Amino acid sequence: MDQAAAVAIHRDLTRPVLETGRGFYMTLAALGTVMAWALFCWGYQVYHGLGVTGFNRPVFWGVYIANFIFWIGISHAGTLISAILRVTQAGWRRPITRCAEAITVLALMIGPMFILIDLGRSWLFYWVLPYPSERGLWPNFRSPLLWDVSCITTYLIGSLTYLYLPMIPDLALLRDSTPCRRWLYRTLALGWKGTPRQWHRLETAISVMAVLIIPIAVSVHTVVSWIFAMTLNPMWHSTIFAPYFVVGAIFSGIAILLLAMSILRKSARLEMYLRPVHFNNVGLLLLALSLIWLYFTIAEYVTTWYGDLPEEMAVFRYKLAGPLAPYFWGMVACCFLIPAPVLAFKKTRTIAGTTAAAALVVVGMWLERYVIVVGTLTHPRLAFNWRDYAPTWVELSIMAGAFAYFAFLYVLFTKLFPIISVWEWKAGLPSASPPRPSPGATLSHEPLPR
Amino acid sequence: MTRARRHLMYGWMTALATLGSVAVWHSRGKPLEQPIAFSHRVHVVQNKIDCAYCHEHFRRYAVAGTPSVELCVTCHSGLRTSNSEAKKLFTFWEKRHEIPWVRLHQLPDHVVFTHKRHVRAGIACETCHGTIGQSDSFVREVDHSMGKCVDCHEQRGASIECWTCHK
Amino acid sequence: MPQWGMVIDLDRCTGCNACVAACHAENNLPIAGEEEAAKGRSFHWIRIERYIEGEYPNLKTRFIPVLCQHCDEAPCEPVCPVFATYHSPQGLNVQVYNRCIGTRFCANACPYTVRHFNWFDPRWPEPLERQLNPEVSVRTKGMIEKCTFCIQRIRKAADLAKDEERPVGDGEVQPACAQSCPTDAIVFGDLSDPGSRVSKLASQRRAFRLQEDLGTQPRVIYLKEGSE
Amino acid sequence: MSPFPVRIIASFHDLPTVQQALADLEHQGIGRNQWELFSSQPVGVDENEKSFIARSALIGGILGAVGGGGLAAGTAVAMGLQTGGMPTVAYAPVGIIVFALGGLGAVIGTLISFFAEAGLARFPDPAEAEIGRRLSRGETVLSVSCQPHESPRVEKILKLRGAEVYLEA
C-alpha cells in the first residue's frame, strides 16, 4: 500500500479523536443540560409516584414503553445491518460498520432504561434478575418481560463484543500514536501486536460473531413484540407482530444510521470517506425496508378491517379516524408517502435527499410505536373503561433527556474512538489486497548475497 | 504481583472485612432500654414462671401481648422487694398508668402472623424467641427475614404459598 | 380444599353502589379524589358498569358489577416477571403487594380492566384514615392492587374452622360486597361443594360468565336478567 | 530464556518486501521459529493451524442453552406457583430462554477463545512500544531472533531488502 495514502487515512480518521474544538464542548454542555433536567424529572417521578405522568386506567403504558420499543428498534441499525453487509462481503460497508455498531450499543443502553423509568417501584428492578436470595424467590420465566431481559442482555453483550473486536487493532494504533488518553487505549487494546496469528483469529472471531448476531438481533425485537402480542388485547394479539416489529426495527435503524452518517460527514469532516455512493446504497436499503414496512402495515390493518370484530374495530377507528388519526396518518406519511418517492428516484437519492427521508422515517417509526401502544390501551374489551391519554411534561422531558443522552454518548464515542475503522478502510484500498500465502514458505527463492 | 497491587488487595480485603463485621454487629442489634430494667432471667429461670402467665394471649390471638401493670402488681404486692426497679412498678400502679414497654418486635404491615397458629402447631417459644427468657437485657433475637420463615415452613410441611403470610 | 366462587344475579342488582362503598371500607382503598378520578385513576375493586340501551324516552339501563373475575386461566398471571400474581390452590387469583414492582403488565393483560395501580401514596380525607382495616395492608405507591375476594375474611374463617377441626361451612365467608348487598344479588361460596348456595345458583340456566369466549374461565358467574 | 540471545527488529514499507526478506532468511537457515511478524494490516497465516473459535462458540452455545433451559425449568419447578393455568414447566418460554442464553454462551465462547488464541489480555512486552510506534506509521515490522554470530548476516539481508534495522540485545 502507498505509504502516503496510509498516513493520510490515519490522519483523517483519527483527527476527530485528537482535535477538540469549541463545538464539542458546547454540544456536550447543551446535551448535558437537557439530561440534567430529565434526571430531575425522573427523581420527581420516583419521589411522587407514577401519578405525575399522564397514565390512567386503562392506559397503563404510554410514551415510556413506546420509547422502549423505539430505542430497541434503533439498536437494530448497527449490528444487524453491519453483520448482513459483512456476511455478504459488501465492500462499501467499510466506512459505516463501526458507525452503525456504535448506534446499536448506545441505543441498547437507552432502551432498557425506559423499562426502569416505567416501573412503579424502580428501586426494586433487580427482582427481575435470577439470583439466589434468602427469600428463595426467582423471576417468572413465563413472563415476556423475562424473555426481554434475557434476549436484551444477550444482545447487549453480543453487540458490545461485535463493536469491540474490530476496534482492537485501531485501539492499538491509537495506543501507539496518540499523545493523549494513552492509558485508555493501552487498557482496551489488551496488548494487541498485529501478528499474523492475531489477525487471522480476529477475522475468524468477527465472522463468527457476524453470523451469531443476526439471529440474536431478530430474537430481540421478536420478544419485544411479544410483550404485546402475548396479551389478549385487540390489535395487540396478532401473529404478525414479531416480523412486523423486526422489519420496523431494521427500518428505523437504517434511518438513524443515515442520519448519523450525514451528521458525522459534516462535523468530523469525513467527506472523503462517507461518499454519495454510501448514501445511495443505504438509501436503497431504506427504500426496500419502507416497502416491506408498508406491506406489513397493510396486512395488519386490512385483516382487522375485513374481520370487523367489534373490539378490534374500536381500536382501528380510534387509530385511523379518532384522536390518534394525526399520529397514524403522520406515521404513514413519514414512513412511506414522503420518503419512498424521494428514495426511489436517483435524482433525489442524494445525500440531502436520503438524510431528509431518514429523518422523516425516524419520526414516523416513533409515531408507529406510540400508535401501537396507546391505540390498543385506550380501548380495552369492556367499553365502560375507554379513556384517552396524553403525556405530561414529565414524560416528555424524560423522553427528551433520553434523546439527548443518546446524542451525548454518541458524541463522546466519536471523541474517544475513530468512528470509521482505520484498518478496515486501509485494507479496502485497491492496492492493499493483502497477500494471503504463508510468508517465508511459499515465496520463490532468489539468489542471496553472501 | 507488584507491591502496589498487593497493597491495594490488602486494602480491599480490610475494607470488606470491616464492612462485614459492621454488618454482623448491626444485625445483632443493641439491647433496648425499657422503662423498668426488667429481667426475663429472674422471672423465668429463677422463679420458674411460664411465658404464658404474663404473655397471656398467645394461645388465642395473633399477638402474645405484654402484661398489664395490674398483672405485675398481683405478684409484686405480695413480695417485700427492696429492688429499686421493682419499686418503679408501684409508681406506675399508683398513678393507674400502664408501663410504657418499648416494643421489641414489629412485623411489617404486609405480613400476617398469628401466635395462635404457631403455638397450636406445637412450636415452642424458644424456636423463634431464642434465649430471651434467660436474658437480663432486651435484644432483638427474632429473625424476621422471609428466608427464615420459609425455611421453617418447608421443614415442617406448612404452606409456603405467598398468601399464607402476606396480606 | 374449597374452590371459591361468586354468583351475581343481575336481575337483583339495582346499581345502588353499596358493594362499592363496603369494599372501600373493608379493603383500605384509597380515596382518589375528584381531580384524580376525572383522570381515570379512581379505585374501585368492584365497579358498577352501566350500559344504556335504546333512545330517549325508551331507555333501559343495565348494570353489571365487575370485579376481579379470579380466572382459572388468568391472562394477568403468567406475564408478571416476579410472581407477584399467581393462582392459589383455592382458586383465587392473588396479588402479593409487597412483591409487585409495578410493571403494570398484568393490568394491561387483564381483559376485564379490574386491576388498579397506585399512582401516588394512598390518601384519605379526615377522618377516614382512622378506620383502616388492620387485617388488610395499606398499599404504597407503585403497586398493583385488585379484588381479593376479601381473603382476610376467608383466612379468618379458615382459622376458626381449623381450631374447631371442621371444614369451613357454606355462608361462613362473606366478602364485604356480598354482605352489604341490600338485594342479596351477590352470593359467595365454595363452587366445589355441589350443595352450596353458590353452586346451586351457578348451575341455573341463566348463568353466564363475562367474556366467556376468551377462555379465561372466570370464577365470577353472572345470572342473566330475566327478559319479560 | 530464549535460546537466541540477539533480537533484531526491522521495519519495512510493505508486506511483499517482508515476504521476500523472509524467503531470503529461510534460505539462510533462519526458520519459522526465529522470526515474528507485526503488521498493521491483516496478513494471512498458515492455514494448517486450525482455529478453535467456531467450535468454542458452538460449545459455549450448547452450555448456555443447557444452562438457560435448566434455569427456566428449574425456577418454575422450584417456585411451584401456578400462573394462568399453564403447566409448571411451560415449554415455549423455556425454549425462548434456551435460545437467548444459548446465544449468550456462544458469544462468550467466541470471546474467550479469541482472547486465548490471539494471546490477548496479557501484559505487553516493553520492547513492543517501539514496534507499535513503527506500526502506527504504517510500517510492517519483522523481529528476528538469532545467535550473536548470525546477526551481521541477518542484518545485511534485511537491509538489502530495504529495511530500517535496529538492534536489540
Q: What is the pLDDT of residues D80-127, one digit of tens each?
A: 888 988 888 888 899 999 999 999 999 999 999 999 888 887 655 656
- Which three three-digit cell numbers place residue B27? 444485625
| Interfacial A residues in 104-133 facing B (CB < 8 Å) | 133
> D64 lies in a domain?
yes
Looking at every residue in chain A, the average pLDDT score rounds to: 88
How many CB atoms are closer than 10 A to CB C138? 17
The proportion of chain A whose per-residue pLDDT surpasses 70, expressed as a percent, equals 94
Burial class (CB in 10 A: 0-12, 13-18, 19+), C31: middle
pLDDT of residue D44: 66
Residues D101 and D73 in one domain: yes
Please give the Cα distance from A253 to A249 (Å, whole number): 6
Which one of C89, C92, C98 has the shortest CB-CB distance to B166? C98
pLDDT of residue A319: 94
> D80 lies in a domain?
yes
Place of cell 437507552: A110
Structural domain range at position D93 = 53-117
> D154 lies in a domain?
yes
Residue type, B36: I
Contact A133 B150 (CB under 8 A): no
Burial class (CB in 10 A: 0-12, 13-18, 19+), A363: middle
Question: With contacts defined as CB-CB under 8 Å, which chain B residues touch A133?
Answer: 147
Residues D110 and D143 in one domain: no
Confidence of residue A228 (pLDDT cuts 50, 70, 90): very high
- Which three three-digit cell numbers place residue D68? 438457560
3-state secondary structure of A136: coil
Residues D96 and D150 in one domain: no
CA dihedral of residues C14, C18, C21, C26 (deg, nearest 10) = -130
Residues D99 and D61 in one domain: yes
Q: What are the pLDDT tens digits along chain C (228 aa)? A: 899 999 999 999 999 999 999 999 999 999 988 999 999 999 999 999 998 888 988 988 889 999 999 999 999 999 999 999 999 999 999 999 999 999 999 999 999 999 999 999 998 988 888 889 989 999 999 999 999 999 999 999 999 999 999 999 998 999 999 999 999 999 999 999 999 999 999 999 899 999 999 999 999 999 987 754
Contact D94 A150 (CB under 8 A): no
Question: With contacts defined as CB-CB under 8 Å, which chain D residues touch A172?
Answer: 132, 135
| Interfacial A residues in 98-117 facing C (CB < 8 Å) | 115
DSSP class per residue in A57-117:
SS----HHHHHHHHHHHHTTTHHHHHHHHHHTT-GGGTTTHHHHHHHHHHHHHHHHHHHHH
Contact B109 C138 (CB under 8 A): yes
CB–CB of C48/C65 below 8 Å?
Answer: yes
> D76 lies in a domain?
yes
Residues D35 and D74 in one domain: no
Does the N-terminal peptide bond of residue C57 adopt cis geometry, omega within 30 degrees of 0? Answer: yes
Question: With contacts defined as CB-CB under 8 Å, which chain A residues touch B150?
Answer: 135-136
How many CB atoms are closer than 10 A to CB A394? 22
DSSP class per residue in A229-248:
HTS--TTTS-TTHHHHHHHH
CATH number, position D35: 3.30.70.120
With CA atoms as reference, report the closest residue to A336 among A260, A261, A275, A247.
A247
ipTM of model over 0.85: yes
Domain count, chain D: 2
Q: What is the mean pLDDT of residues A245-273?
A: 91
Please give the Cα distance from B116 to B97 (Å, whole number): 28
Q: Report pLDDT digits (tens) over A94-121.
A: 888 899 999 999 999 999 999 999 999 9
Instruction: Give strand pairing partners of C49.
Output: C64
Task: Name the minimum distance, in Å, from the CA of A439 to any CA of chain D.
Answer: 5
pLDDT of residue B29: 61
Which domains occur in chain A, in start order? 3-126+153-427 (1.20.1630.10)
Question: Strands C4-9, C220-223: parallel, antiparallel or unpaired by DSSP?
Answer: parallel
* Residue C85 parent element (H or E): strand C85-87
Residues D97 and D74 in one domain: yes
Residues D62 and D110 in one domain: yes
Q: Report pLDDT digits (tens) over D21-48.
A: 888 887 877 777 778 888 887 876 655 5
Q: Report pLDDT digits (tens) over A411-449.
A: 999 989 988 888 888 877 655 444 443 343 333 333 333
Residues D34 and D63 in one domain: no
- For chain D, the distance separating the N- and C-terminal CA atoms, rounded to the nearest angstrom, is 13
CA distances from A418 to A4, A6, A15, A25, B67 (A): 19, 15, 8, 18, 76
With CA atoms as reference, report the closest residue to D19 among A2, A195, A3, A436.
A436
CB–CB of A176/A192 below 8 Å?
Answer: no
> D58 lies in a domain?
yes
Contact A140 C39 (CB under 8 A): no
Task: Name the minimum distance, in Å, from the CA of C139 to any CA of chain B.
Answer: 9
With CA atoms as reference, report the closest residue to D158 among D145, D142, D169.
D142
Query: Is pLDDT above 60 for D146?
Result: yes
Question: With contacts defined as CB-CB under 8 Å, which chain A residues touch C82?
Answer: 127-128, 137, 139-140
Nearest CA in chain B to A134: B147
Which one of D36, D104, D156 has the shortest CB-CB distance to A154? D104
**All residues at 6 or more sequence positions from A262 whose CB lies less than 8 Å from its CB, including other chains:** A279, A351, A354, A355, A358
Please give the Cα distance from B55 to B67 (Å, whole number): 6
Q: Report pLDDT digits (tens) over A346-386.
A: 999 999 999 999 999 999 999 999 999 999 999 999 989 99
Q: What are the pLDDT tens digits along chain B (167 aa)? A: 456 666 777 777 788 888 877 766 665 566 778 888 888 888 888 888 888 888 888 888 888 888 888 888 888 887 766 677 777 888 888 888 888 888 888 888 889 999 999 988 888 888 888 888 888 888 877 888 888 888 899 899 888 888 888 88
Which domains occur in chain C, in start order? 4-223 (3.30.70.20)
Residues D65 and D110 in one domain: yes
Nearest CA in chain D to A144: D93
pLDDT of residue D1: 43
Which one of A119, A144, A385 has the shortest CB-CB distance to C101? A119
> D107 lies in a domain?
yes
- Total CB pairs under 8 A between chain B and C: 35
> D132 lies in a domain?
no
> D130 lies in a domain?
no
Which range of A272-286, B110-124, D53-67 scores highest in mean pLDDT? It is D53-67
DSSP class per residue in chain D:
--S--EEEEEEESSHHHHHHHHHHHHHTT--GGGEEEE-SS-----TTS---HHHHHHHHHHHHHHHHHHHHHHHHHHH--B-TT--SS-HHHHHHHHHHHHHHHHHHHHHHHHHHHHT-SSPPPTTHHHHHHHHHTT-EEEEEEE-GGGHHHHHHHHHHTT-EEEEE-
Nearest CA in chain B to A135: B147
pLDDT of residue A447: 34
Does the N-terminal peptide bond of residue B35 adopt cis geometry, omega within 30 degrees of 0? Answer: no
Q: Report pLDDT digits (tens) over D159-168.
A: 877 777 776 6
